Structure 1
C-alpha cells in the first residue's frame, strides 16, 4: 500500500502555493547582506595616552555605521532572524520597544525593505532620536511609564497583525557569536598585529545584554585569556542581579544614560560569560563622555562615557599592580544626538549633575597616570 505522503497520484504543490513570498524573502535577505558587506567593519581607534605606561587603549568605533550606532548590527541581525524564521514577509508591520538607537537602525532597515515600522519608547527619549526615526519613515508611540514599553509593543504588533522584533529577548540569539564577522570577531581580527594583540579586558555596557553575550561567548569559544567587564548605570538592575544571582530584580526608575541600563533583567543578559561588573554613577558616565569627546575632537554618547569610565578604572587598577596590556571598549554612538541633554549645561543643572569633579579626576589620570586610585 502506498503511503499517502508518497502517493504519485497526489499533485505536488506548486512553488507559489508553498511560499507566495519566497521571492520577496530572497530579495530582502540579499539587501540585508549587501548592507552588512558595506558596513560590517568599523574603525578600531588607538588614542595616545602616554601617561598610561604600558597600557594601550582601543575604541571600536560603532558610531560610523550608516545609522550612527552599535545598534545597526543588532537591527540587521533581528531582521534576518525574523525573516529566516518566517515572522517577517512582504508588508509585515514591524514593532519594537526601544529607547532610541535600536529603533533608528530598525527604521532604516524597514525603509530598505519597504515595511511599516512603529517604535514604542519612553516619552523622555531624546528628540533627535525621534526625529531620526520619523525621517526614516517610522512612527513613534510614546509611553509615560518606561516599564510598559514591552507590553505596549506586543499589543500593537497583535493589533496590526505585525511582528514584535523584541530586541531584549532576541539580541543574544539573533547574532552568530561563533564568528561570521560579528563585533567580537571583527575586533579581535583588527587587534591581531597590535603590540598586545589579546586584550586583557574588553569593557561593554549593557542595554539588551546581547553585545556583551556575543563578546563573552566568542572569548570562550576562541579559548582566549581576555576577560569581559560589563558596566552598568544607575536605576538599572543588571549589576544587582549579577551580584546577588537574582534574575527577578526590577527597578521603578528609568536609566538616564540612553541605550544602556534596564528596569528588569532582560532575557539577552547572560551573566555566566561576564568576569566582572562595575556600576558607574551617571555623573561619571557623562563626565567621561565629555573628556573623551575633547580628546577625540568629536562628541560621543553617554553610554560610551560609561564604557570609558569603566575602562579607565580597570586601567588604574592595572597601573597600581604594575600590569601591562591592552584594553578595548566601544564607541556606541555619536554625541550629537545628546546635544540637548548630556552636553547642555541647563539640562545637567536641572538633573543636579555636576560633572566638573569627575572630569578633573579623569583629565588628571589621563595626563599623569594618577588620580583614580580611590575609585578603582
Structure 2
C-alpha cells in the first residue's frame, strides 16, 4: 500500500527517486586508481607496494563510498524521508561526503564535529549546503548528534554504528572487490597484506569479510594512531576501554566503535603521531603530490610489513589507501610551524622514515 507524507505526496515515489539519484551519481563516477609505488629496494626483493587513490571521489576522500552506503541503507530501512534533517557525528571527511548526498536529495544536513577539525573541511561542508555544530572534545560528538537529531525531528546517521553493515561485503563494487579486480594482472595479484586505518572500522570489516568470502590468502592490518583505543581493544577484547583520542584527523577513536570488528583484523600496528607526519611528507615527495596524515599512518604500516617480508625472504604485494588529498591540511599537518607547535620536532621521525625508504 502506498503511504503519504504530511503534504500528501507519495513516500514510495520520493524514496524511489532518492535511490535513483544516488545510483545515477554512482554510475557517473569512475573507479579510483591503483597506484604502484616506485620503491626499487623492495621491488628487487619481490615486494610490490600499491595505494588505492580514494582522493579522486567527488567529495575527495574514501568516505564518499561510506556516505553513499549509509544513505542507501537508511533510505531502504525507512529512516529517511522527504524533508528529513540528516545529522552526523564526524571528524570531517564523512561529513563532507554526507553533505554532498544530502544536497543531492534536497535534505538539510548538520555535522557534529570537534572544533579542531580543519577549516578546509568545514568550508567544504558549507559548500555542499551543510552546517556545522562544534564540540570541544571528540568524545562529545555522539550525544550532541543524538540530541540535535531528536530536537530537529531528524535522523542521526551514526556512521560509527552502521558503517560495517551498510556496505555489501560480498562484492557489489565495494572497495575490496575493486582492489582485487585492479590487481588481477600484477606480479603478485593476491596481496599478502592490506593495510588500512580505522575511524569507524567499516573499511577493515568490509575488506576482512570479503577476503574470507573469496578465500583469498590475504591478511588485514589496521594501523592505529597514538591515542586511539583500537589497538588495546584488539589485544584485550575489552569493549569498555577508552583512550584520550587520536590527533591524526580521520582515524583512531577514544572509544571502541560498534563497527570495528576485531575478529576480522589479523594485526594491529600502533603508529606515533610524528611518524605519521614524517611518512606523510615522505610519501608526498615520492608521489609529487600532497597526501593527508592518515595516509602517512598507512604508509608506516606498509613499510614495516615490507621490511619484515624482506627479512623473512617473502615475496608478494602490499595494498593500502590514499585516503584524501593533502590540500585539506595545508594550514595544519603540511605547515612546519603548526606541526612544531602541535606535535614537536619531527626531525628524528623523518630520519627513521627516510632510513626505512633507503634500506
Please give the alpha-carbon distance, in whole angstroms, between the structure 1 residues aligned to 2:68 and 2:208: 21
Superposition deviation, residue 363 in structure 1: 2.4
Partner of 1:303: 294
Please give the alpha-carbon distance, in whole angstroms, between the structure 2 residues aligned to 1:187 and 1:274: 18
Give the 3-state SS of the residue equivalent to 2:171 in structure 1.
coil
Q: 1:126-275 to 2 correspondence within 5 Å?
A: 126-251=118-243, 253-275=244-266
Please give the alpha-carbon distance, in whole angstroms, between the structure 1 residues aligned to 2:346 and 2:33: 29
Partner of 2:356: 365
The 8 Å contact of residues 83 and 108 in structure 2, kept in 1 or not, is answered as yes
| Structure with max Cα Rg | 1
Superposition deviation, residue 366 in structure 1: 2.2
Q: 1:1-376 to 2 correspondence within 5 Å?
A: 20-39=10-29, 41-52=31-42, 53-251=45-243, 253-367=244-358, 370=359
Please give the alpha-carbon distance, in whole angstroms, between the structure 2 residues aligned to 1:352 and 1:15: 55
Give the 3-state SS of the residue equivalent to 2:260 in structure 1.
coil
Please give the alpha-carbon distance, in whole angstroms, between the structure 1 residues aligned to 2:63 and 2:142: 18
Please give the alpha-carbon distance, in whole angstroms, between the structure 2 residues aligned to 1:276 and 1:14: 49
Give the 3-state SS of the residue equivalent to 1:51 in structure 2.
helix
Q: Deviations over 1:306-343 (max 9, x none)?
A: 10101100001011111111000000001111111111
Unpaired segments of 5 or more residues in structure 1? 1-12, 371-376
Unpaired segments of 5 or more residues in structure 2? none
- Cα 1:89/1:16, change in 2 over 3 Å: closer
The 8 Å contact of residues 275 and 353 in structure 2, kept in 1 or not, is answered as no
Partner of 1:374: none
The 8 Å contact of residues 72 and 102 in structure 1, kept in 2 or not, is answered as yes
- Cα 1:336/1:260, change in 2 over 3 Å: same
Please give the alpha-carbon distance, in whole angstroms, between the structure 2 residues aligned to 1:244 and 1:164: 30
Q: Deviations over 1:31-58 (max 9, x none)?
A: 1111222336110001211111211111
Please give the alpha-carbon distance, in whole angstroms, between the structure 1 residues aligned to 2:60 and 2:91: 15
RMSD: 1.4
Superposition deviation, residue 15 in structure 1: 6.2
